[in-house]
Amino acid sequence: MKEKEYILRTSNLSKSYHGSKVLEDVSIALEPGKIYGLIGQNGAGKTTLMRVITGLIFPEEGSLELFGQSGSGLPEERKRIGSMIEYPSIIPYITARENLTYYKTLRGIPSKILEDELLALVGLKDTGKKLPKNFSLGMKQRLGIAISLIGNPEFLILDEPVNGLDPLGVIEIRELILRLCEERHMTVLISSHNLPELYQMATDYIIIHRGKIKKAITLKELEESCKHHILIGCRETEKLAGVIEMQLHTANYKVMPDKTLKLYDYLDDREFVAKTLIDNGIVTTNFTVQGDTLENYFISVIGGEQDV
Amino acid sequence: MFNMICADIYKMVKSSAVKILFAITAISSVIMAVLGHFIAEGRINASFGGIAFLFSDINVISILGGAMAGIFICGDFENKTIHEAIASGCSRGKVVISKAAVFFCGVALLLLPYAAVTGIAVGLGSNYSTGKASLGFLYLLTEESGVSLNGADMQKLIVIMAALVIVIAAQLSVCIPLAFSLKRPVLVIGIYYAVSILSAQLLGFAKSSEVFDKIYSFTPFGGRYLFMTLETGAWDIGKSIAVSFFFTVLVLGITCGIFRKAEIK
């Protein structure tokens, strides 16, 4: 059986500053072609984790594997990564195009049209001689993303990429990331405080809290958890399922391992559901509407501490 | 590494700060020569010798060299270009060597006006004096004052000036570990200026202690490396280059050691 391929795999990564743990036993595995949303409060360890992955800081314990390779340095593997961590790496006194030329030269890429392509891709083709020091925050973010895309990386690490962007800019960057992932089969690790925005991009979520990975969940699992439904508790689940199919004429329900049932229809007609169950002799132990946003799900995972 | 050097040279060419530093050394070198000539000709008082020294290569470069390190190395930490280089797979050792190579190119660029002005001034055969002790290109200028040069002398003059650039660059290599560890241009400039003042004091002390003189001559700050003239023998020129080379290698080795495990935030 073929072993699963991973772009990144960390095992028990730990890091502390001044005696305080900022990463604790962080183990994650990223598969190719997926967009991973890294969610956490301020100081949860998102940026520290990204810095460890890019080799800017060293973990005290644990190991890191990139593109199936482990060891110190990983220079060849890191050439396949593009990143923008915290704020963009921009030289303020040369133009956006010259910035791209600088980084293109740094990576040894001979292309003569790369600058134009990237500037057009991030919507900065008309900046001309305007210097980045005079750019808005959003324009700087766009240039930072363009820099991170130099060399057509297979793995893109973006720390708060939509920070400072206007609503239209947010949509453009979202569409760009989705397109890159789809067309180039790029793997993206993206952190953002804008959870509704992240919800529209990510295929998987990693929730980090106080340096620990609290939850790694796929979009499907998240939607399952967040999807609004009527949660019905009952001792006779099979009978309940039969009544729902026969009387309510729907199969849009799911029986959970704890024998509760999630009904995804009739959310606006709960009285009718309740009456039908009573008329068919179903005794319920629970009858509540559940379902949440990513924000509320995140808060429930980290234990109710809100600061995202 | 070659890519990084090319990229940094591209950045240097585009930097207006470097152009300003170059303009300062160009103007200072001309002022140094003009004042030296006027003092020698008696057109101005010998007390202007102090001002001539103020504009001399050693004094100017001890400030601008630190500024150059600040622009190239500390600035790269601020702009996060070093972060980007490391994140994209450049080893820390390569980063240090690449930055050092471009820094030395920058130092050579700043010293170029002094070499050109000294070469032209000596070639003209005019008289130059500051009436005070001098070092580096100013020393060469005043010592070769009024000498008529033949072709061989001109060649040797170029070799000596190249050796002087290498010695001064080796002295300034101290700025590299400072910049990599402190990451603050102001601190690098201030500390290096203090180092240059201290080195001058130690040069005085070396005259009174033979043992210290020998030890100190293993660094580009000691010996007679900043007192080269057309009379200086090939052995001494070679020694100045060799000492500078090994000192620079040692300093870069220390820098790599400091930076190898440094956390980049």
B101 occurs within a structural domain: yes
| C-alpha to C-alpha distance for A46 and A44, rounded to whole angstroms | 6
| C-alpha to C-alpha distance for A9 and A26, rounded to whole angstroms | 10
Interchain contact B10–A (C-beta under 8 A): yes
Contact B80 A55 (CB under 8 A): no
Q: Does residue A53 contact residue A23 with C-beta atoms inside 8 Å?
A: no
Average pLDDT of B241-252?
95
Contact B14 A107 (CB under 8 A): no
Q: Which residues pair with A10 in a beta bridge?
A: A64
% of chain B with per-residue pLDDT over 70: 100
Cα radius of gyration rounded to whole Å, chain A: 24
Instruction: Convert the pLDDT of each residue in A50-79 to its tens digit.
Output: 999 998 898 888 989 988 888 777 888 888
Output the pLDDT for position A2: 60
Residue of B nearest to A74 (CA): B89
Judge whether residue A307 has pLDDT over 50.
no
Lookup result for tokens 């390569």:
B94
Residue of A nearest to B89 (CA): A75
B246 occurs within a structural domain: yes
* First-last CA distance in chain B: 22
* The residue type at B137: F
Average pLDDT of B135-139?
87
List Cα–Cα distances, B3 to A105, A141, B79, B184, in angstroms.
6, 25, 18, 26
Residues 86-105 of B with CB under 8 A from A: 86-91
B174 occurs within a structural domain: yes
**Encoded tokens for A184:** 């180039």
| Position B61 confidence tier, pLDDT thresholds 50, 70, 90 | very high
Judge whether residue A303 has pLDDT over 70.
no
Average pLDDT of B124-137?
81
pTM for this one? 0.82
Please report the domains of chain A, with CATH numbers, ordered by start residue: 8-222 (3.40.50.300), 228-287 (3.30.70)
Partners of B80 on chain A (C-beta within 8 Å) are 87-90
Q: What dihedral do alpha carbons B211, B217, B222, B223 form, nearest 10°?
A: 100
Supply φ then ψ for residue A30, to 5 degrees.
-110, 130
| Position B21 confidence tier, pLDDT thresholds 50, 70, 90 | very high
Judge whether residue B166 has pLDDT over 90.
yes
Number of domains in chain B: 1
Phi-psi region of A105 (alpha: psi -120 to 50; beta: other; left: phi over 0): alpha
B61 occurs within a structural domain: yes
Judge whether residue A295 has pLDDT over 80.
no
Contact A102 B84 (CB under 8 A): no
Minimum mean pLDDT range among A107-121, A283-297, B213-227: A283-297
Query: Which residues constitute the domain of residue B91?
Result: 2-260
B170 occurs within a structural domain: yes
Output the pLDDT for position A306: 45
List Cα–Cα distances, A217 to A26, A29, B95, in angstroms.
15, 12, 38
Contact A105 B7 (CB under 8 A): yes
Instruction: Convert the pLDDT of each residue in A1-36 to its tens digit.
Output: 567 788 899 999 899 888 888 899 999 999 988 899
Supply φ then ψ for residue A96, to 5 degrees.
-60, -45
Output the pLDDT for position A142: 87
Q: Which of A78, A91, A102 sits opposite B89 (nearest CB)?
A: A78
B265 occurs within a structural domain: no
B202 occurs within a structural domain: yes
**DSSP letters along B221-261, please?**
TSTTTT---TTS-HHHHHHHHHHHHHHHHHHHHHHHHHHHT
Average pLDDT of A189-213?
86
**DSSP letters along A66-108, please?**
ETTEESS--HHHHTTEEEE-SS----TTS-HHHHHHHHHHHTT
CA neighbor of A146 nearest in space, from A123, A174, A179, A166:
A123
Instruction: Quickly count: other Cβ atoms within 10 Å of residue A228's Cβ.
Output: 11
Average pLDDT of A113-128?
86
B168 occurs within a structural domain: yes
What secondary structure letter does DSSP report for A133?
Answer: G
